[in-house]
Amino acid sequence: MYICICRQDTDRDIHEALAQGACRMRDLRERLGVSMQCGKCAECAHTVLKEACDACVSPACTKAA
Ligand code: FES
């Protein structure tokens, strides 16, 4: 599902970025450009990030450190 229409980023893109250690909205903005144009995707992207982050078991995750 598309999360950011402006950048054509999907929930899968967010999950892949999270698996590579993008655990914050700032990380998503830097890696994917989420919410960098119109900003309408910010709340949805945050929701997807939070849900994925809560279930994350990535060794790249910094929240457990
Ligand atoms: S929908 Fe993401 S910046 Fe516009």
| CATH H superfamily, domain 2-54 | BFD-like [2Fe-2S]-binding domain (1.10.10.1100)
User: Cα–Cα distance between 58 and 40 in angstroms, integer?
Assistant: 28
What is the token pair recorded at 15? 């999950």
| Domain spans in the chain, listed from the N-terminal domain onward | 2-54
Atom of ligand 1 at shortest range from CA of 33:
3
Is the pLDDT at 7 greater than 90, yes or no?
A: yes
Ligand 1 center–CA 42 separation, angstroms: 7
Residue nearest to atom 2 of ligand 1 (CA): 4
For residue range 11-64, list pLDDT tens digits in order. Answer: 999 999 988 888 899 999 999 999 999 999 999 999 999 998 887 766 666 664
User: Residue 19: its pLDDT value, please?
Assistant: 85
What is the token pair recorded at 11? 């929930």
pTM score, two decimals? 0.83
Is the pLDDT at 65 greater than 50, yes or no?
A: no
Is the pLDDT at 8 greater than 50, yes or no?
A: yes
User: Cα–Cα distance between 3 and 35 in angstroms, integer?
Assistant: 10
